[in-house]
A and B are shown apart, each in its own frame.
Chain A
Amino acid sequence: NAGVTQTPKFQVLKTGQSMTLQCAQDMNHNSMYWYRQDPGMGLRLIYYSASEGTTDKGEVPNGYNVSRLNKREFSLRLESAAPSQTSVYFCASKLAGVAKNIQYFGAGTRLSVL
């Protein structure tokens, strides 16, 4: 029972480099989410996809893009990484239209931008 799988687990980038964080879920969930976690700030929503084929901005979307590749996969792309994007990134998923907004989380990707 894999649940939500994120790759890679760790990554170090130089300023200006690009990369894509991958997320896949095997629970047949409709909605998927990307959060970033910074000390003292909890988790903040970057982007989400309510269903396959749709994506919407969250609280902190600047500097990121997303792709909902299919029902299982939701990727997060940093086109030109900046030190301010050093963070821990979490992917989550849930069933849509069903009580009651319970999200399931991956183990996270720890990203450092130098």
Chain B
Amino acid sequence: AQSVTQPDIHITVSEGASLELRCNYSYGATPYLFWYVQSPGQGLQLLLKYFSGDTLVQGIKGFEAEFKRSQSSFNLRKPSVHWSDAAEYFCAVAPEYGNKLVFGAGTILRVKS
């Protein structure tokens, strides 16, 4: 069965500092991987996705993520965090033409000014 682990429940970083949110997955075939962001009181917005090809993918709002097959990881990064990045971030995995996404438990990002 597919599963996604986000080891960090909460992360606090200073504004302007770099950020890395961890995501590990368990999936039998080549996964399709996603990062979603949820601002307080809002729905989920797709940040970026990995389907195939270049293992470093760029997303919106200056985020990027790197797929590492050997480590079963898809970590999200941003070189310089802004206060508006404070939100909850979800990693998810899915098959190509399947119907279901499996989500991790989420990481809450707090940004210190």
Contacts and interface: CB of A to CB of B under 8 A. Distances in A.
Interface in A90-109: 90, 92, 96-97, 99-108
A108 to B, nearest CB: 6
Specify which of B95, B96, B99, B100 lies most central, judged by the most chain A CB atoms within 10 Å of its CB.
B99
Contact of A31 (B32, B43, B45, B99): B99
Interface in A51-70: 56, 58
Interface residues of B, number: 26
Interface stretch (A14-22, A38-46, A79-87): A38-46
A40 B100 contact: no
B51 A100 contact: yes
A56 B100 CA distance: 11
B11 interface: no
Contacts of A107: 41-43
Contacts of B36: 105
Interface string B88-102: 001000111111110
Contacts of A103: 101
Interface of B: 4, 9, 32, 34, 36, 41-46, 49, 51, 90, 94-101, 103-106
> Which 10 A-B pairs have CB atoms at the shortest separation, nearest pair first?
A42-B103, A101-B94, A105-B43, A105-B44, A107-B43, A42-B105, A43-B103, A100-B51, A50-B99, A106-B43
Interface of A: 4, 31, 40-45, 48, 50, 56, 58, 90, 92, 96-97, 99-108
